[in-house]
Structure 1
Amino acid sequence: MIGDLFETAMSTLEYETSPIRSRLSSIAGSIALACWLVLIIPQLIEMFRVRDVEGISPLFLLSWAIGDIANVTGALWAGLLPEVIITALWFLFADIATLGCYFYLLLTYRRSKKHAVDAIEAAEAGERQPLVADLGADEAVEPSTDDNYVEEAQNESLHAQQSRKSVRSKASLRRRYSSTVDDIVMEPERHSLFVRYGLPILFVVCAGTVGSFCSPNGGGQSSKKPSNDSSIGPQICGYISAFMYLTSRIPQIIKNYQNKSCKGLSLLFFLLSTLANLCYGLQILIYRSDWEYIWLNSSWILGSVGTIFEDCIIYLQFYLYNRDVDETAVL
């Protein structure tokens, strides 16, 4: 997400880059941008699919928002191209939408949970009430009749549960052999890994590659050298943004460890994030590989590498905690 400050850092040096390296760098940068543009969509879908966001750390989302605020500030301060500023504003809009959905679902879930608890308590209180009160000996219910009533109620409850399971099973079986967008979104576990993850990533890579060739500046970068005074502010915003992105995963990793679950998180969200940061780092390194240039962009490179490392920790948590859930379900 800090790729829009990349031009500010690069333009502080005079350089000549071969057309091939410039084109490859442009393709990597476009793929990273395409990933960031659609990054939040899988997470929003997952939040509405499970309708339970208590497994998501609000500090994770807030850190991303603060990083994007610094991103927008740096883009405006540096006077970057309008499309770069619009992209930074899109990131900020996506953060606001995500935070809004998070708090909406959090309040909705807590209200529904409270209603469910109240209903259970009311049912338990009703069961404790005497079935017959102040009745004469002739009007008392015989134990055999009482037992028959309880047995019939249990049989009806069991039959209703079996009917619901049968309906869910048939619906899941239909979705398993369906490829509609609604089925893929609502029942992603019924589809192959390629449909869930490979196909979206392939689409983003293709879109980013095509976008690179369609971009008017896709084959090269500006070599204009701004004054040092004008680049200090954007550089500071870049460091703040990189720090917030780098540390944003830590609260979520801790939250996952405490809950022993990754419920509410989208694996595709983190896959796109890893691909974006990987392509962003390649964009820098492919364009130039001399030490002076790398040192100038070291903050962005370290930020990308650090974020990928933290994403790998979350991948491990997905593997461990989902495996524990599957083993529990089997038992």
Structure 2
Amino acid sequence: MSVIAPSFDMANILTELSSFLGALSLGCWVVLLIPQLLENYKNQSGESISDLFLIIWLIGDFFNVLGSIYGNVSSTVLVLSFYYIVSDSTLLMQIYYYRWKAARRIASREHEPLLQSRSLEEGLHAPIGKQQIWWDRLSTRQQFGVMGCVVIVSTIVGNLIISSASSDKSDDDLNAWPFTAGCISSVLYFCARIPQIIKNHKAKSTEGLSIIFFVLASVGNTSYAFSILVFPASDYLNYTYANLPWILGAFSTIFLDIYIFYQFIKYRNHY
């Protein structure tokens, strides 16, 4: 009696794995800013976030869109690139809104003689007052659980998006414009972390920063890089070279995120 060994199509398995990792990355990026938006709303302040961090990140998003346009990607992927710009702009506008609100509060106090000196001492970056929201009542573990569920749903949706865009995917074509835009955006994404690290170091604090924000960024970058690396391209070397800016950009930012995690641990007893 002969036993027929099951046959495995390794290329198909790697393709499915690449799609899953890409969907996981997409799921993380779609909900990435929600924890920080909630943290800022709770504190009625965005002073913990470096605005230079977000501005550089936003410029990187614009080059990412340019790369998507010249790369002839599907309309769905292009819409997602614009979504990243909108979400980052929302966080940046939230920060400037709270600064404007704080400036108005200080300006009104300057007309009150008894509070004038105190107002000047508090300065522009004074917090407005914390807001109690349902997110704040959750423990850190529960917050991770909630965001984990949201990421799972986003991953499922992301898998559908990637599947619909797979027919437009070219595994070994190198186009100069997307490659150049990818290089620029990767450098910008890497450099964006540096102002935040410096800000944390000067303040000796990470208070007001959402650690979930950086966890999602790390998971998103890691899964994205490996989704590229495991894809069974027909010309793997040329394919890898064409995607090298995104691979290096993803892995390099992970190292800076690890340093930010170190700052969370180092400064956790400072507030």
- Please indicate, yes or no, whether the TM-score normalized by the shorter chain is above 0.5: yes
1:102: how far off? 1.2
SS across alignment from 1:83: helix
| Deviation per residue, 1:241-281 (Å, 9 max, x gap) | 11110110000000010011113321111111011001101
1:91: how far off? 0.8
Match of 2:146 among 199, 213, 223: 199
1:244/1:108 CA distance change after superposition, 3 Å: same
SS across alignment from 2:40: helix
SS across alignment from 1:323: coil
1:282 and 2:226 matched: yes
TM-score w.r.t. length of structure 2: 0.80
| Deviation per residue, 1:70-113 (Å, 9 max, x gap) | 11112122222110110011111112212211111112123334
TM-score w.r.t. length of structure 1: 0.67
| Deviation per residue, 1:37-67 (Å, 9 max, x gap) | 1111211111111112223211101011100
1:315 and 2:267 matched: no
Partner of 2:187: 243
1:254 and 2:246 matched: no
Question: Take 1:256 and 1:193, find their aligned partners in 2: how far apart are those partners?
Answer: 21
The answer as to whether partners of 2:31 and 2:150 remain within 8 angstroms in 1 is no
Match of 1:99 among 87, 92, 96: 92
1:117: how far off? 7.1
What code does the residue aligned with 1:192 have?
Answer: S
Question: Take 2:267 and 2:106, find their aligned partners in 1: how far apart are those partners?
Answer: 24
Aligned residues: 248
What code does the residue aligned with 1:31 have?
Answer: L
Partner of 2:4: none
The answer as to whether partners of 2:70 and 2:177 remain within 8 angstroms in 1 is yes
SS across alignment from 1:212: helix
1:107-186 to structure 2, matched below 5 A, reads 107-113=100-106, 115=108, 122=114, 182-184=133-135
1:285: how far off? 1.5
Match of 2:209 among 261, 265, 284: 265
What code does the residue aligned with 1:259 have?
Answer: A
Question: Take 2:110 and 2:93, find their aligned partners in 1: how far apart are those partners?
Answer: 26
Question: Take 2:153 and 2:209, find their aligned partners in 1: how far apart are those partners?
Answer: 25
What code does the residue aligned with 2:202 have?
Answer: Q
1:114: how far off? 5.3
Question: Take 1:57 and 1:205, find their aligned partners in 2: how far apart are those partners?
Answer: 29
1:83/1:69 CA distance change after superposition, 3 Å: same
What code does the residue aligned with 1:301 have?
Answer: I
What code does the residue aligned with 1:64 have?
Answer: W
1:324: how far off? 2.2
SS across alignment from 2:83: helix
Partner of 2:49: 56
| Deviation per residue, 1:290-314 (Å, 9 max, x gap) | 5554343222111111111111111
The answer as to whether partners of 1:22 and 1:220 remain within 8 angstroms in 2 is no
Partner of 1:30: 23
What code does the residue aligned with 1:68 have?
Answer: D
Q: Identity of paired residues, percent?
A: 32
The answer as to whether partners of 2:76 and 2:165 remain within 8 angstroms in 1 is no
Between stretches 248-257 and 107-116, larger displacement belongs to: 107-116
1:201: how far off? 2.2
1:213: how far off? 5.4
Match of 1:89 among 78, 82, 95: 82
**Is there any run of 5+ residues in structure 2 with no aligned partner, and where?**
1-8, 118-131
Question: Take 1:201 and 1:319, find their aligned partners in 2: how far apart are those partners?
Answer: 22
What code does the residue aligned with 1:22 have?
Answer: T
1:208 and 2:159 matched: no
